[in-house]
Amino acid sequence: GESVGLHLPTLSVQEGDNSIINCAYSNSASDYFIWYKQESGKGPQFIIDIRSNMDKRQGQRVTVLLNKTVKHLSLQIAATQPGDSAVYFCAERARRYSTLTFGKGTMLLVSP
Partner 1 sequence: DAGVTQSPTHLIKTRGQQVTLRCSPISGHKSVSWYQQVLGQGPQFIFQYYEKEERGRGNFPDRFSARQFPNYSSELNVNALLLGDSALYLCASSLSPLGTANTGELFFGEGSRLTVL
Interface residues with partner 1 (CB under 8 A) are 2-8, 32, 34, 36, 41-46, 49, 89, 91, 93, 96-105
Least Å distance between CB 96 and partner 1? 7
Residue 82: strand, helix, or coil? helix
Residue type (1 letter), 25:
Y
CA–CA separation, 108 vs 30, rounded Å? 26
Indicate the residue among 64 and 105 with the shorter CB distance to partner 1.
105
Alpha helix ranges (H) inside 1-112: none
Indicate the residue among 4 and 110 with the shorter CB distance to partner 1.
4
Least Å distance between CB 34 and partner 1? 7
CA–CA separation, 30 vs 38, rounded Å? 23
